[in-house]
Amino acid sequence: MSLLNLQLKVWRQNKGQTGRFQDIEARDIPDHASFLEMMDIVNERLIQKGEEPVAFDHDCREGICGMCSMTINGMPHGPEKATTTCQLHMRKFRTGDTIWIEPFRARAFPVIKDLMVDRSAFDRIQQAGGFVTVRTGSAPDANSILIGKDIADAAMDAAACIGCGACVAACKNASAMLFVSAKAGQLNSLPQGQPEKTKRTLGMVRQMDKEGFGNCTNQYECEAACPKEISVRWITKLNRDYAVATVHEAFGGGVERSEGGE
Amino acid sequence: MSAVFDSLSRFYASSIGKKILVALTGAALVVFVLGHMIGNLLVFAGPEAINEYGHMLQSSLHGAGVWIARLGLLAAVGIHILATVQLTASNRAARQDRYGKNATQVASKASRTMIWSGLTILAFIVYHLLHFTVRVGNEYNNPALYSYSLHGETVHNVYKMVIDGFSWWPASAFYVVAMVLLYTHLSHGVSSLFQTLGLATHRTWPLFQKLGHAYALLIVIGNCSIPIAILFFGLGK
Q: B144-150: long-range contacts (C-beta < 8 A, 24 or more apart)?
A: B148/B47, B148/B51, B150/B48, B150/B51, B150/B52, B150/B55
A221 in Cβ contact with A171 (< 8 Å)? yes
CA distances in angstroms from A138 to A134, A135, A193, listed in the order given = 11, 9, 20
Residue type, A2: S
Contacts with B27 from chain A: Cβ below 8 Å: none
Residue A137 region by backbone torsions, left for phi larger than 0, else alpha for psi between -120 and 50, else beta: left
Contacts with B186 from chain A: Cβ below 8 Å: none
Average pLDDT over residues A232-249: 96
Answer yes or no: is B74 within a domain.
yes
pLDDT tens digits, one per residue of B40-92: 999 999 999 999 999 999 999 999 999 999 999 999 999 999 999 999 999 99
CB atoms within 10 A of CB B51: 23
The minimal CB distance from B14 to the residues A172, A209, A221 is found for: A209
Positive or negative, the CA dihedral B64, B66, B67, B68 is: positive
CB atoms within 10 A of CB B62: 6
pLDDT of A82 reads 96
For chain B, say whether A30 makes contact (Cβ under 8 Å): no
Average pLDDT over residues A185-201: 97
The answer to whether B19 contacts A224, with C-beta atoms less than 8 Å apart, is no
Answer yes or no: is B1 within a domain.
no
**In A42-97, beta strands by DSSP E:** 71-72, 75-76
Top pLDDT among B139 and A188 is at A188
B91 in Cβ contact with A173 (< 8 Å)? yes
Question: Pairing state of beta strands A98-102 and A3-12?
Answer: parallel
Residue B120 domain boundaries? 16-90+108-232
Give dist(CA A27, CA A41) in Å, integer: 10
Residues 201-220 of A with CB under 8 A from B: 205-206, 208-209, 212-220
**Is A136's pLDDT higher than 90?**
no
3-state secondary structure string across A145-203: CCCCHHHHHHHHHHHCCCCCCHHHHHCCCCCCHHHHHHHHHHHHHCHHHCCCHHHHHHH
ipTM over 0.85: yes
Q: How far is A139 from chain B (nearest CA, A)?
A: 36
Contacts of A138 (CB under 8 A, 6+ apart): none
Residue type, B123: A
Residue B82 dihedral angles phi and psi, to the nearest 5° = -60, -50
Residue B75 dihedral angles phi and psi, to the nearest 5° = -65, -45
| Per-residue confidence band for A260, with pLDDT thresholds at 50, 70 and 90 | low
Tens of pLDDT along chain B (237 residues) come to: 577 788 889 999 999 999 999 999 999 999 999 999 999 999 999 999 999 999 999 999 999 999 999 999 999 999 999 999 999 999 999 999 999 999 999 999 999 999 999 999 999 999 999 999 999 989 999 988 999 998 889 999 999 999 999 999 999 999 999 999 999 999 999 999 999 999 999 999 999 999 999 999 999 999 999 999 999 998 987
B15 in Cβ contact with A215 (< 8 Å)? yes
Contacts with B13 from chain A: Cβ below 8 Å: 209
Q: Give the residue from A103, A133, A127, A169 showing the smallest Cα distance to A260.
A: A127
Answer yes or no: is B193 within a domain.
yes
DSSP state at residue A89: B
CA distances in angstroms from B198 to A88, A236, A240, B106, B191, listed in the order given = 35, 4, 4, 21, 11
DSSP string of A11-46?
A: EE-BTTS--EEEEEEEEEEETTSBHHHHHHHHHHHH
pLDDT of A259 reads 59
Q: B213-219: long-range contacts (C-beta < 8 A, 24 or more apart)?
A: B213/B187, B215/B30, B215/B34, B215/B186, B215/B190, B216/B182, B216/B183, B216/B184, B216/B185, B216/B186, B216/B187, B216/B190, B217/B183, B218/B34, B218/B37, B219/B33, B219/B34, B219/B37, B219/B179, B219/B182, B219/B183, B219/B186
Helix (H) or strand (E) holding A101: strand A98-102
Contacts with B96 from chain A: Cβ below 8 Å: 107
Domain count, chain B: 1
Longest alpha-carbon distance in chain A: 68
Helix (H) or strand (E) holding B147: strand B147-150
A·B CB contacts under 8 A: 146
pLDDT of A117 reads 97
pLDDT of A258 reads 58
Going along chain A from its start, the domains and CATH numbers come out as: 3-106 (3.10.20.30), 119-251 (1.10.1060.10)
pLDDT tens digits, one per residue of A30-63: 999 999 999 999 999 999 999 999 999 999 999 9
Q: How far is A129 from chain B (nearest CA, A)?
A: 16
Q: Which of A114, A181, A232, A236 to mutate to test the interface with B (most CBs of B within 10 A)?
A: A236
Give dist(CA A255, CA A195) in Å, integer: 10
The residues that bridge with A24 in the sheet, in sequence order, are: A8
| Per-residue confidence band for A142, with pLDDT thresholds at 50, 70 and 90 | confident
Give dist(CA A178, CA A232) in Å, integer: 7
pLDDT of A256 reads 52
pLDDT of B1 reads 56
Give dist(CA A78, CA A73) in Å, integer: 7
Residues 100-159 of A with CB under 8 A from B: 100, 102, 105-108
The answer to whether B106 contacts A223, with C-beta atoms less than 8 Å apart, is yes
pLDDT of A262 reads 46
The answer to whether A218 contacts B16, with C-beta atoms less than 8 Å apart, is no
